[in-house]
Structure 1
Amino acid sequence: MIDMEALQRLYPIGIQTFSEIREKNYLYIDKTEYVYRMTHFAKYVFLSRPRRFGKSLLTSTLHSYFSGRKDLFQGLAMERLEKEWIEYPVLHFDMSTAKHVGKDELISELERKLTTYERIYGRNEEDIYVNQRLQGLIERAYKQTGRQVVVLIDEYDAPLLDVVHEKE
């Protein structure tokens, strides 16, 4: 007979954060070999998958990897494959907080997310619009660290799904 309580403690239902799954010893099906291939043989990656297909967990895994969190990959394929473990500046934007919002609220949410990273890398006050601020942020992060900047956008479709059927 299957002990459902023990299974629930082991299986990470509803947990989409790689670090939490690894740190709390939940069951993790090792897909890090694919992450390694994707990160070493592609410059840009756009993942469009059905709902509940693991995009957020993958984005979180990429964040941990590019942040140099070697400790989280112990015992996984990535530990064997990766030799350098370089820490990159990571700009991780979770757009799930922008569901069911209008244009002004979306811009406000983007500004809030940019401000978090601008506290780390600074801000050019001449950059007014969110696209200018993002570009400036990437340039400053690169200049300060000397490393390419990783931009991860999770739930990119959240603000789009609300307006996809609008005529204007």
Structure 2
Amino acid sequence: MQNFEDVIKEDCYYVDKTPFIEQIEESNKYFFFIRPRRFGKTLTLSMLENYYDINKKDKFEEIFGKLYIGQNPTPEHNTYLIIHLNFAEVAAGLDDYKDGLDNHCSLVFNFFCDIYAHLLPAGIKEGLEKLTDAVSQLRFLCQKCQEVGKKIYLFIDEYDNFTNMILAHEEHLMRYRNQTHGEGYLRQFFNTIKGAAGNTLGRVFVTGVSPVTMDDLTSGFNIGTNYSLSPDFNEMTGFTEEEVRKMLDYYGSVLPFNHTTDELIKVMKPWYDNYCFAEERYGETTMYNSVMVLNFVDNYIRSEYQIPKKMVETNIRID
């Protein structure tokens, strides 16, 4: 489940990562963060969206009341208009990736105009629809939000998804370079973000699995800071062993587990542990892949509390 509000409303087990919100706010407002696939990035973005969305101000207590940040809110909670772009949904073909990016952004930007219509200038959607490309539309939205004194929090999930797919084919390397350097379209898009930073784009949070594309776009987003290897954020996604143990202890107390927490940890550790992203944490804190842990627990319960024969799901193995 990747929708944070649903996780809370359906009373799912949630490892509270909201203390990191305070640390994010104390960091660069233009935040770059990479992690392996299936490591909780999308749920983290959903958590942040729910926290900062001005439209969810009346739901703050309902969503966050039982969590750390609900009892220790920051002044910025529920003060932003949210734009969430997911580049995993962009058509990845080399020849039509611009069209794919334009189409994805157009859908998101139109939705933005609909849900924040009560806060935006009249006629903004009609003005947006006169523009045909993502770069022009983003500039337009930023300008209109500035006119009414509203700040945008821009989230970009899987920012490198379609460029990584392009890079998988050797014959595409030169054309990839043309798009991420000089006057390339992707570079223009990030230059637009850079231009709006500080005025309308109050904060930007970018996630992906590799720094390669961002390195190639350096001047297009050189206002951002890469916190992927920061010890302060080593545990922001994924689970520590303490968090896994606490989860297993909880489920073992309400369900007829056939194994102790120690026995289950012994089985899981070789498969799901040993991620460490900050050199300063090496030898101290290693991280478990959160999706793999949750799949194991789910399969264990469904298998009538027997150790699953398949330790890695097919879709994760492919990744």
- Per the TM alignment, residue 51 of structure 1 is displaced from its structure 2 partner at its CA by 0.7
Q: Could you list the per-position Cα deviations for residues 109-155 of structure 1 after superposition, in whole angstroms to 9, with x for gaps in the alignment?
A: 222222222343414367543112102212323433x3321011112
Q: 2:8 maps to what in 1?
A: 22
Q: 1:66 maps to what in 2?
A: 52
Structure 1 spans left out of the alignment, 5+ residues: 1-14
TM-score (norm 1): 0.78
Q: 2:86 maps to what in 1?
A: 94
Q: 2:207 maps to what in 1?
A: none
TM-score (norm 2): 0.44
- The whole-number CA distance in structure 2 between the counterparts of 1:136 and 1:128 is 11
- The whole-number CA distance in structure 2 between the counterparts of 1:86 and 1:18 is 15
- The whole-number CA distance in structure 1 between the counterparts of 2:7 and 2:113 is 29
Does 77-86 or 149-158 show the bigger shift?
A: 77-86
- Per the TM alignment, residue 87 of structure 1 is displaced from its structure 2 partner at its CA by 2.7
When Rg is computed on C-alpha atoms for both structures, the one with the higher figure is 2
Q: 2:160 maps to what in 1?
A: 157
- The whole-number CA distance in structure 1 between the counterparts of 2:42 and 2:147 is 29
- Per the TM alignment, residue 99 of structure 1 is displaced from its structure 2 partner at its CA by 4.9
Corresponding residue SS for 1:53: coil
Contact 2:83/2:108, CA 8 A, preserved across alignment: no
Q: Could you list the per-position Cα deviations for residues 5-53 of structure 1 after superposition, in whole angstroms to 9, with x for gaps in the alignment?
A: xxxxxxxxxx011111001000000010012220243311111111111
Residues 99 and 23 (structure 1 numbering): CA distance in 2 closer, same or farther, change over 3 Å? farther
Letter in 2 for 1:76: L
Q: Could you list the per-position Cα deviations for residues 74-97 of structure 1 after superposition, in whole angstroms to 9, with x for gaps in the alignment?
A: 111101221544431111112222
Coordinate RMSD, CA, aligned? 2.2
Higher RCO, Cα 8 Å, sep 6+: 1
Residues 29-68 of structure 1 mapped to structure 2, 5 A cutoff? 29-67=15-53, 68=57
- The whole-number CA distance in structure 1 between the counterparts of 2:35 and 2:135 is 26
Does 97-106 or 119-128 show the bigger shift?
A: 119-128
Q: 2:269 maps to what in 1?
A: none
Q: 1:147 aligns with which of 143, 147, 150?
A: 150
Q: 1:77 maps to what in 2?
A: 68
Residues 86 and 142 (structure 1 numbering): CA distance in 2 closer, same or farther, change over 3 Å? farther
Residues 31 and 107 (structure 1 numbering): CA distance in 2 closer, same or farther, change over 3 Å? same
Does 33-42 or 130-139 show the bigger shift?
A: 33-42
Contact 1:89/1:141, CA 8 A, preserved across alignment: no
- The whole-number CA distance in structure 2 between the counterparts of 1:31 and 1:164 is 33
Structure 2 spans left out of the alignment, 5+ residues: 176-319
Kindly tell me the number of residue pairs found equivalent between the two proteins. Answer: 153
Q: 2:110 maps to what in 1?
A: 115
Letter in 1 for 2:108: K
- Per the TM alignment, residue 160 of structure 1 is displaced from its structure 2 partner at its CA by 1.6
- The whole-number CA distance in structure 2 between the counterparts of 1:110 and 1:83 is 30
- The whole-number CA distance in structure 1 between the counterparts of 2:105 and 2:37 is 23
- The whole-number CA distance in structure 2 between the counterparts of 1:47 and 1:73 is 23
